[in-house]
Structure 1
């Protein structure tokens, strides 16, 4: 005979299918760039028009959706109230801290978080692996925008005018040309490299500036699409493959993506039982 715990777990699994459908409708409207009509929603929701209409009536009545110009549906004032309340409780930096602490435990690699201080990346979190790497970087240090993974990620996402200003000033008298994958980068090559970093949301070093040490980083974005911070992971070349698609590069990208989704509220709901 099942005990009370079994009954509780089963109840949690069952949930309320109609509530989940209603939330899926709100998600669908939130993700759409334009108001959606009752002709469009049934195909997306995989529900009949008559059944969907009942949900829409309730959601309009409670203010969670509204009709725009008497036709398309958008999120209503009640949805806005929920969103504002949720945003007010989000701490992007604390979310990043919690995520990299988990990354440090799961990877047993040295990890860090940097923020942009207006001129360069600043290390605000540093967690060593069980076998620390020998680098002269610690909490509170300012890193180079050109010789660090996080610096290049921040540069790649700056407004073009500001990025070009920083890059032009550097290349007027560079102490040493930046390197990537063993190759030196002149200014056109470096700018092209930054475009690839932005596109991939990933930057990797293969011992380019720290002998025998590989580094990989990815950006955490805020709700406006701007960089909130950068999470980085480093380890010895022999046991830390950070090439795109490798285990550690994917771990870093997933960490950054998860925090971004927590900040921006994007997620995938489980499919409800519509029977």
Structure 2
């Protein structure tokens, strides 16, 4: 349930701070908009048509108070009402607004904020990698207080199957895309075709990544260095980028359920949420 606001006055304006105080002056808010947003938020969270009584309860207000907001939202196209059931759901204007917001989102910008915070909280190196022309490519690297000496920098292209970052990409990207990139990588490095994708061991590793939602590597990408990777998804459920945590073997065990692992999962989920991704509900 959406937490109700402290004031029920739809026209109440939040007061400015006392000019004599040293704190910055607070901006005035229109209380009626904040109250009305509880109705839209309830419809957004439920993702299904709702009867007036249920919708009002979820928004934390009586039906008589919720109804005028719904009338105004319907006039603006933000909400529509079924002529058969009388239930309410988000309208075409809400869809247009959501699509416009998604088009303005930049995955790297959103992830960079989280990566910087995560590097500080975990005191470990955090790399962001996107899918580039040559494969998984590092586009940001946040170092801890005492940087780890690894052969990794912005612009580094990660091997598709010989790094955990690459395997996470392989686990979530379309198979055709992965096969094509694997063939190109094998041809550049070794020469000739590659049958690695169909190897039972590789398929098992990719399945484990999908099952746990993260990838773990010991002494990868180099001896004495452990890595833990988490995928970030966009609003369509497609892989947007991979967030990788890197640390020395003696201090960082790269356990998925460790405090560091939970931090990585939390921040990766934060980015996915900002990009509009809604995780599937589990029983």
TM-score category of the 2 structures, normalised to the smaller one: 0.7 to 0.9
2:226 maps to: 214
Mapping of 1:215-254 within 5 angstroms?
A: 215-254=227-266
Alignment of 1:64-83 (within 5 A): 64-70=78-84, 71-83=86-98
* Contact persistence 1:241–1:247 (CA under 8 A): no
Return the offset for 1:164: 6.2
- The residue aligned with 1:196 is 208
Equivalenced residues, count: 253
Which SS does the other structure have where 1:211 is aligned? Answer: coil
1:55 pairs, out of 64, 69, 79, with 69
Whole-Å Cα distance in 1 between the matches of residues 181 and 199 of structure 2?
A: 11
**Is 2:272 aligned against 1:257?**
no
- Tell me how far apart the structure 2 counterparts of residues 127 and 8 of structure 1 sit (CA, whole Å): 32
Length-normalised TM-score, structure 2: 0.74
Verify: 1:93 aligned to 2:119, yes or no.
no
* Pairwise CA distance, 1:10: 11
Find out whether 1:35 has 2:35 as its counterpart.
Answer: no
Residue 35 of structure 1: SS of its match in structure 2? coil
CA distance in 2 between counterparts of 1:265 and 1:5 reads 44
2:10 matched residue in structure 1: none
* Structure 2 gaps, min length 5: 1-16, 191-197, 279-283
Secondary structure of the structure 2 residue equivalent to 1:238: coil
Which whole-Å CA distance do the structure 2 matches of 1:40 and 1:57 have between them? 16
Aligned to 1:273: none
1:153 aligns with 2:194: no
Gaps of 5+ in 1: 176-185, 267-275
Q: Distance in 2 between matches of 1:221 and 1:103?
A: 18
Does the C-alpha gap of structure 1 residues 160 and 31 become closer, same or farther in structure 2, counting only changes over 3 Å? farther
Output the CA distance in 1 between the equivalents of 2:45 and 2:94.
13
Q: Could you report, residue by residue, the CA deviation over 1:29-59 in whole angstroms, capped at 9, with x for unpaired residues?
A: 2234433333542454454433332332232
Separation in structure 2 between the aligned mates of residue 108 and residue 145 of structure 1, nearest angstrom: 27
TM-score norm. by structure 1 comes to 0.76
Query: Which residue is 1:22 aligned to?
Result: 36
Q: CA-to-partner distance for each residue in 1:81-105, whole Å, 9 max, x for gaps? A: 4324423432221222222122223
Query: Using CA pairs below 8 Å that are at least 6 residues apart, which structure has the higher relative contact order?
Result: 1
Contact 1:241 1:248 in 2 (8 A): no
1:114-133 to 2 correspondence within 5 Å? Answer: 114-117=129-132, 120-133=135-148
Aligned residue for 2:223, secondary structure, equals: coil
